[in-house]
Structure 1
């Protein structure tokens, strides 16, 4: 059987001022979500003044990604445009706590995004908060936009927006989906009884055991995402049920806050992106650009064009 496709409250927080970046100020920060310590990088603008108020944006990236990848890329560039920006590791990934490792659950990611919102709003120099999601986190921030009225605006870039109608096409058949769910259930039982986590590759160009099989150059290239030391090309098998239940398309009709989408014909599920946009209930803007899905992770032409659009959007909506 082959599985492949294309593409709570925060009561404690700390800031470690030892981490700096030559391009912009960046500090390692810690905050709580469900009693777990999450780790992030907080980017601040040049000439940052803690006595002033700034709009803030949470950034997130693709499935299994860490803050040193696309989340950090966009956070740094947003800081250069005058925003406070937080790129963080969701629970179970990177430097953040959480077991099992590499376990994907959109509902838990929603809790972590809400915890990040709480963290930012508690900072004396933050005014309003928005969120930006790249790829999978585009769907994750759709959950956030639909359920947390503290978020004032959201943008997505090359968002991954699956639904139950597209899953059989992505994974070959309903029978394949049923088999993946069965494997996920078995792995979950194994973890509960033994504490052992079954792991598969998250991405590969050819290996059919990986969760995502196809042209995965961003992850296979050590000069791109594959070379980020903090990232692991791993997915917990017990993620299958939660991952296949991921349904950001259903959230659009409940989103009434300002929403910008940056997408392209070469990005994941372009027809779903258009349908999602049509279902949004509030003020909205669709930026249909060019380039391939992975270009929006790290290629200057697509990233800079996206940042130009979303920074103008956030500057207007987060004031």
Structure 2
């Protein structure tokens, strides 16, 4: 496997990515290419750096990249890093598809989204039929939290985000916050004691200060984000437009994960006869990095994309 550093234009700036190429890659041949969509709040060195090599080993070209304002990709002039806005993520994804379409060795473009990436790739595919098939893993396609959590909590999130938006506008300075209550300094014990999320320990094991892909391990990653995030992340097309998706769709999720409803609510609205792989033995975060879960999902994605 070879990893090639690449850039492509989106919103007039260069987004940075890694292009994973199969063993014995030959530019004169034609390959199926996958555009990867990452979980919130990740950068390309995290889940995409897990699935990139796995899909390359299975014969695919795989593009993992940093969205606008994330990781190694710049923010727009006058804006701030760590601003992950849903509609910009879709346009970044469309531009990633356009970039793959310029490569002479790409014969077909496919989409793979993990966690929030499931929402991104599903939403992007509604009107981008250059993406021929899509697959989601631990997908948060019901990104509208009103569907799966207490409305009072959501409205509190919105109120906090509204205040942050006003502060940013008035001061011209970023207002950083920890969207899930996890910062870059907490111990696991501190975070789990404070967190209301049932899988807080699993999340910490991945994202926390001492996690396998936390800020000490991934230099361009932080758990902090611009405080207006809730005004952006609650928007998603895919759960409302699921019946408009025409591409063959694979949905992989842990049936006992607290986020399972974000896959099942999406599945229920699909009209394209989706392929569904529900696995009770794996939790949401297991599919990010645990070898046994990644192997199952990568094998299933490869088989589906090769059909």
Separation in 1, partners of 2:87, 2:126: 13
Distance in 1 between residues matched to 2:272 and 2:147, nearest whole Å: 31
* 212-221 vs 52-61, which moves further: 212-221
1 CA distance for matches of 2:273 and 2:101? Answer: 23
Displacement of 1:221:
5.7
Q: Which residue in the other structure is 2:213 paired with?
A: 225
Pairwise CA distance, 1:161: 2.6
> Which range moved further: 126-135 or 269-278?
269-278
TM-fit CA distance, 1:269: 2.7
Q: In 1, distance between residues paired with 2:247 and 2:115?
A: 20
Question: What TM-score comes out, normalization by structure 1 length?
Answer: 0.84
Structure 2: distance between partners of 1:211 and 1:91? 28
Q: In the TM superposition, what are the counterparts of 1:227-306 in structure 2 within 5 Å?
A: 227-246=217-236, 248-289=238-279, 290-306=281-297
CA deviation after TM superposition for structure 1 residue 263, in Å: 0.8
Inter-CA distance 238–271: structure 2 relative to 1 (3 Å threshold): closer
Residue number among 113, 117, 120 corresponding to 1:140 in the alignment: 120
After superposition, the Cα gap between the structure-2 partners of 1:201 and 1:163, relative to the gap in structure 1 and judged at 3 Å, is: closer
Alpha-carbon offset, residue 56 of structure 1: 0.2
Aligned-pair CA distance for 1:273 = 1.7
Aligned length: 290
Q: Is 2:303 aligned against 1:312? A: yes
Give 1:118 deviation, angstroms. Answer: 0.2
Q: Using the TM superposition, name which of 136-145 and 185-194 deviates more.
A: 185-194
Specify the alignment match of 1:30 in structure 2. Answer: 7
From 49, 52, 61, give the equivalent of 1:75: 52
Q: What CA distance in whole angstroms lies between the structure 1 residues aligned with 2:289 and 2:147?
A: 30
1:26-81, Cα deviation, whole Å (9 max, x unpaired): 01100111112110000000110111111100112211100000012111110111
8 Å CA contact 1:136–1:160 kept in 2: the answer is yes
Q: Quick one: structure 1 residues 225 and 167, their matched pair in 2 at CA, closer, same or farther if it must change by over 3 Å?
A: farther
Matched, 1:107 2:95: no
Q: Which structure 2 segments of 5+ residues have no match?
A: 183-190
TM-score in terms of structure 2 length:
0.87
Q: Distance in 2 between matches of 1:35 and 1:296?
A: 34
User: How much does 1:247 deviate?
Assistant: 5.2
Equivalent residues of 1:158, 1:268 under 8 A apart: no
Among candidates 187, 194, 209, match of residue 171 of structure 2: 194
Bigger mean CA deviation after superposition, 126-135 or 181-190: 181-190
SS in 1 for 2:28: coil
- Alignment-derived partner of residue 99 in structure 2: 119
